[in-house]
Amino acid sequence: MDFERPDRALCRAELEKYRLEFEKYKEQNLQLNLARGNPSKAQLDLSMKMLDIVNSHSVLDSEDGIDCRNYGGLDGLFEAKAFMAELLGVHPNKVMVFGNSSLQIMFQAINFAMVDGVSGCEPMMFQKDRKWLCPVPGYDRHFNITMKFGFELIPVPMTDEGPDMDVVRSYVEKDPSVKGIWCVPKYSNPGGVVYSQRVCEEFAALEPAAHDFRIFWDNAYCVHGLYPDHEDTIPDIVGLCEKAGHPDLVYEFCSTSKISFPGAGISAVATSVHNQKGFKSFLQYATIGPNKINQLRQVRFFKNLANVKKHMAKHADIMRPKFELVESILEKELGGTGMAEWTKPRGGYFISLNTLPGCAKRVVALAKEAGVTFTNAGATYPYGIDPQDSNIRLAPSFATPEQIEPATEILCTCIRLATYEKLLEK
Ligand SMILES: Cc1ncc(COP(=O)(O)O)c(C=O)c1O
């Protein structure tokens, strides 16, 4: 159909047809959810043996003799640092290991910048008109942290090899009020983008106008490929920054949340020794040390990266068919119609779908009416405002295939309805 000059009679007829279909779905009183980026029960079951690793008969000393039952060890056990360093492909002396949530550590890293200031700069809470770059579509919880701390959030367009680096450079190198950027370099949330070597090198080569500018490199999906035989790799950003003469430019984050148990994994930060010193001098006020028994549990279960990869291949075997199911229904129902386009990610937890401009909110509201919950339209943009009102994040991991099938079919019906409604407004 020509969306510029739509055939109104045809639109009305199609609207009527899909409205009947929609009413039939509603009669089924379904309760389906493709909003949560949680691992499914089957994925959680893969790590159950971890719970048997540490018990009252275990040696609870770390490799260097620390009694892990007690306080202390602010930045984690030696063996946990070595393990997380291998996961991130960085040197262990760059790594600190903390509690269950990497998101909480990102929050604390910004808290540190606000209260103490970074590298001798004025604490950010006293600096007016602070800005933070947010590649879009992106992760709402990232955006919310920087919104909470009062940064102005600046959207930066994504390309298929990472954020648009001309835009990034024009802000970072010219405007000293720009203090940071959120990045999810591998299987970005929600676009599934893997940053290219060029983009990573250009990040490392940035010459920020602000001395306290930092890249927040959230490598949350570092081992989360859906196709383990075709593994994607990205370079070690900490090493790249060091080589480029900017050792303090980046904090890299990750956790074992979606490798073992969300809420009961361990998190890590890789950064220069100088940055570590500053951050720890702040964090010591918040905690006497992380849960080291859980660090032991995680390291003794996984042991090394090779085992993590084997484990993640089992996750992939559970996740891949769900992603492919969504993609095949979208293709069958909407392929070639021009009503939507969507990503086919090679890893991560999300499919990013774009409707025609002005339709996403309506689609999500219609789906809700028919009993299917999606992430709020707009959530992938700063302040929850998608200027095009077109992006919807689909999260197929938690639901079963039996739930994903009707949920995606209903989504397609809702996209048709919203599209025809929009065309008839013209
Ligand atoms: C990009 C990204 N970072 C961080 C997190 C949360 O990480 P954690 O469980 O370590 O706090 C998520 C969870 O969905 C995520 O998508």
Report the alpha-carbon angle 170-275-222, nearest 5.
75
Q: Which of 100, 103, 195 to mutate to test the pocket of ligand 1 (most atoms within 8 A of CB)?
A: 103
Q: Kindly give the distance from the C-alpha atom of residue 374 to the centroid of ligand 1, in angstroms, as a whole number.
A: 18
pLDDT value for 426: 81
Q: Kindly give the distance from the C-alpha atom of residue 98 to the centroid of ligand 1, in angstroms, as a whole number.
A: 14
Q: Is 368 helix (H, G, I), strand (E, B) or coil?
A: helix
Q: Kindly give the distance from the C-alpha atom of residue 72 to the centroid of ligand 1, in angstroms, as a whole number.
A: 26
Cβ–ligand 1 distance for 220 under 6 Å, the answer: yes
Cβ–ligand 1 distance for 255 under 6 Å, the answer: yes
Q: Kindly give the distance from the C-alpha atom of residue 22 to the centroid of ligand 1, in angstroms, as a whole number.
A: 34
pLDDT value for 424: 95
* H-assigned helices in 216-340: 237-243, 273-283, 292-302, 305-334
Q: Kindly give the distance from the C-alpha atom of residue 103 to the centroid of ligand 1, in angstroms, as a whole number.
A: 6
Edge-first strand order for the sheet with 391-394 is: 340-342, 351-355, 391-394
Domains and their CATH numbers in the chain? 8-43+309-425 (3.90.1150.10), 61-303 (3.40.640.10)
Q: Kindly give the distance from the C-alpha atom of residue 59 to the centroid of ligand 1, in angstroms, as a whole number.
A: 31
Question: Closest by alpha carbon to 221, among 268, 191, 187?
Answer: 187
Q: Which of 88, 101, 102, 266 to mutate to test the pocket of ligand 1 (most atoms within 8 A of CB)?
A: 102
Q: Cβ of 196: how many Cβ atoms within 10 Å?
A: 17
Cβ–ligand 1 distance for 47 under 6 Å, the answer: no
Atom of ligand 1 nearest to the CA of 267: 10
- Ranges of residues in the chain with a pLDDT under 70 are none
Cβ–ligand 1 distance for 103 under 6 Å, the answer: yes
Q: Kindly give the distance from the C-alpha atom of residue 417 to the centroid of ligand 1, in angstroms, as a whole number.
A: 33
pLDDT value for 262: 97
Atom of ligand 1 nearest to the CA of 37: 14
User: 127-160 pLDDT, tens per residue?
Assistant: 999 999 999 999 999 999 999 999 999 999 999 9
Q: Which residues pair with 160 in a beta bridge?
A: 162
Residue pair 18/420 in contact (Cβ under 8 Å)? The answer is yes
User: 242-295 pLDDT, tens per residue?
Assistant: 999 999 999 999 999 999 999 999 999 999 999 999 999 999 999 999 999 999
Cβ–ligand 1 distance for 43 under 6 Å, the answer: no
Give the whole-angstrom CA distance, residue 414 versus residue 288.
Answer: 51
Of all protein residues, whose CA lies closest to atom 15 belonging to ligand 1?
A: 220
pLDDT value for 288: 97
Cβ–ligand 1 distance for 184 under 6 Å, the answer: yes
The DSSP code sequence of 5-35 is S--HHHHHHHHHHHHHHHHHHHHT---EE--
pLDDT value for 1: 81
Helix and strand totals (H; E) in the chain = 13, 13
Give the whole-angstrom CA distance, residue 121 versus residue 61.
Answer: 40
pLDDT value for 2: 86
Cβ–ligand 1 distance for 299 under 6 Å, the answer: no
Give the whole-angstrom CA distance, residue 205 versus residue 193.
Answer: 21
Find the farthest-apart pair of alpha carbons in the chain and give their distance in angstroms, rounded: 78
Q: Cβ of 281: how many Cβ atoms within 10 Å?
A: 11
Cβ–ligand 1 distance for 380 under 6 Å, the answer: no
Predicted TM-score of the model (pTM): 0.98
